[in-house]
């Protein structure tokens, strides 16, 4: 199992508080010691920090915890390897360019007998995880369905991506987060939850380490920030647990649409 | 104008010494204040650090200077914007996946009236620089020539990439570095030079800041390390200046093949 973390916000927001909690699970409060990564979008641009070392010991993780990169969309992942050796090329999140946008993806779970289900040619995995291959296959299906030109209706693209995720879920556990830098799709297989913070803001206390934040001092009344995680990161807020097969699409911190299996 | 820096080595080697000199040109000894980026390959995996702030002031650049990431191939770039605004999506190096490898590229120079020359569909630019569009077009030509399956003879792929670079050079100044994580192609339009360090190693002194390194203490007798830069980084070594249209292909620190225009 791995841990996922993502954020969608209507103003550039730093994720230092949530990442501080997540990073503890990489070797201190959790067993996820096989690397970690985080992707920040700033406008259409993105940058990814990755390390094949445990996040609780990583110099780069320390930088992220102390350096408030302001971002509208963030995806992060800490890894406990099951498929694929511990190596940089197997470290999430994975990114590819499609339709002039960087698409970024992270997966929590494990798939079985998946190879015959994921023929790819245009998008190929660099590493040897089930996760990256499933991502490549998913993007390839988007191109087959919508073509080489960026479609206007991106909601229909993400609805189709959710339907593909439902197909992938038949092969094992597939909690997934996918973004084009604007939209953020969360697909739940067994463990995924989220919280949307908006005015009036209160205090939040991390579960994994002794840190409290007063969001009222860090935000403006118009801020809307949704955080998605494998398990709740704070113990004094009402996280919404997602159900198997459920998906939600966020943009600028707000829920755009959602769906259930069947 | 911008500054390029690249490395090809036969053992994982850190680039702290050379990057320390380059980073000074980002706002201290040089005018390149519009961002910087560096890509490290570790096996097939890669990670890129980018910042739209001057490298001489960047917290992340400070991390890179103090954190010896060992790598066989590195590409770095500091930017003085001419085409495209100062933004993360316009910051080099640019990367795309092709044939199951991450391809990374950086460009120094400026092109004119280039738009009609670079039709793209499969690989699209995310930002609005001439550099990224030329990269997308170049990769698209590789797919047109060699197809969707990774070719066996990668030298012929890079020979073709050099011929494409020669075409692009007719549109302006095009100093370019391109890698698939194993091979490193350097194409010179007007400013590019390189040095290959091997035993017996000596001392080297940076031009841009008062740092001396004794490579004899940092290396083993079998190490071969080639460094490529826009302008020489040290003042007590014999850098080889490349000539307009000349290209060189390196792998594991050694020169594989080279060519001249026409």
**Contact yes or no for B33/B54 (Cβ under 8 A):** yes
Contact between chains at A47 and B50 (C-beta distance less than 8 A): yes
Instruction: Please report which confidence band the pLDDT of residue A216 belongs to, taking 50, 70 and 90 as the band edges.
Output: confident
Residue B150's pLDDT is what?
Answer: 86
Nearest to B126 among A50, A88, A102 (CB): A102
Dihedral angle over CA of B53, B102, B228, B204, nearest 10: 80
Judge whether residue B31 has pLDDT over 70: no
The residue written with tokens 């930088």 in the block is: A63
Contact between chains at A88 and B60 (C-beta distance less than 8 A): no
Residue of A nearest to B38 (CA): A47
Window 117-156 of A: residues touching B by CB (8 A cutoff) are: 121-127, 148-149
Nearest to B88 among A43, A50, A127 (CB): A43
Q: Is B91 on the interface with A (CB under 8 A)?
A: yes
- What domain count does chain B have? 1
Contacts of B99 in chain A (CB under 8 A): 124
The distance of B64 to chain A (nearest Cα, Å) reads: 10
Mean pLDDT for A27-45 is 82
Return the SS3 of B114.
Answer: coil
Chain centroid to Cα B101, Å, comes to 17
**% pLDDT > 70, chain B:** 95
Residue B262's pLDDT is what?
Answer: 66
| Cα angle A160, A140, B160; round to 5 | 155
B215-262: per-residue pLDDT in tens?
888 888 999 999 999 999 999 899 999 999 999 999 999 999 999 976
**Which DSSP category does B26 fall into?**
B
B102-124: per-residue pLDDT in tens?
999 999 999 999 999 999 999 99
The CATH number assigned to the domain holding A219 equals 3.60.20.10
Q: Is A241 on the interface with B (CB under 8 A)?
A: no
Contact between chains at A43 and B87 (C-beta distance less than 8 A): yes
A175-202: per-residue pLDDT in tens?
999 999 999 999 999 999 999 999 999 8
> What is the C-alpha to C-alpha distance for residues A186 and A204, in angstroms, rounded to an integer?
23
A67-126: per-residue pLDDT in tens?
778 899 999 998 776 777 888 999 999 999 999 999 999 999 999 999 999 999 999 999
Instruction: Identify the burial level of A242 via C-beta atoms within 10 angstroms of its C-beta, where 0-12 means exposed, 13-18 middle and 19 or more buried.
Output: buried
Q: Could you please report the per-residue DSSP string of B174-231?
A: -EEEEESSSEEEEE-SS--EEEEE-SSP-EEEBSSSS-EEEHHHH--TT--EEEEESS
Which helix H or strand E contains A79, and what residues bound it? none
B136 is catalytic: no
The distance of A43 to chain B (nearest Cα, Å) reads: 8
Interface size, chain A vs chain B, as Cβ–Cβ contacts under 8 Å: 89
Interface mutation vs chain A, best among B79, B124, B143, most A CBs within 10 Å: B124
Nearest to A97 among B43, B88, B124 (CB): B124
Residue A41's pLDDT is what?
Answer: 96
Q: Domain range spanning residue A50?
A: 3-259
> What is the C-alpha to C-alpha distance for residues B51 and A111, in angstroms, rounded to an integer?
36
Contacts of B88 in chain A (CB under 8 A): 42-43, 45-47
As for the ipTM of the complex, it is: 0.93
**Contact yes or no for B256/B182 (Cβ under 8 A):** no
């Amino acid at each position: 199992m791995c841990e996922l973390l993502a954020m969608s916000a209507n103003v550039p927001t730093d994720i230092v508080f949530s990442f501080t909690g997540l990073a503890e699970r990489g070797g201190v409060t959790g067993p996820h010691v096989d690397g970690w990564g985080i992707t920040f979008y700033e406008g259409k641009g993105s940058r990814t920090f990755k390390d094949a070392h445990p996040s609780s010991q990583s110099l780069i993780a320390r930088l992220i915890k102390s350096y408030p990169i302001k971002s509208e969309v963030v995806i992060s992942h800490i890894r406990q390897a099951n498929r694929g050796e511990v190596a940089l090329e197997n470290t999430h999140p994975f990114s590819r360019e499609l339709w002039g946008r960087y698409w970024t993806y992270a997966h929590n779970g494990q798939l079985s007998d998946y190879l015959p289900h994921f023929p790819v040619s245009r998008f190929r995995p660099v590493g040897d995880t089930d996760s990256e291959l499933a991502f490549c296959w998913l993007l390839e299906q988007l191109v087959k369905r919508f073509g080489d030109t960026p479609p206007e209706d991106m909601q229909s693209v993400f609805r189709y991506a959710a339907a593909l995720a439902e197909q992938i879920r038949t092969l094992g556990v597939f909690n997934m987060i996918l973004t084009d830098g604007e939209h953020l799709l969360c697909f739940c297989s067994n463990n995924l939850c989220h919280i949307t913070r908006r005015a009036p803001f209160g205090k939040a206390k991390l579960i994994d380490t002794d840190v409290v934040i007063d969001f009222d001092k860090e935000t403006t009344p118009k801020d809307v920030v949704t955080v998605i995680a494998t398990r709740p990161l704070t113990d004094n807020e009402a996280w919404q647990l997602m159900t198997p097969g459920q998906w939600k699409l966020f943009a600028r911190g707000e829920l755009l649409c959602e769906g259930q299996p069947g």
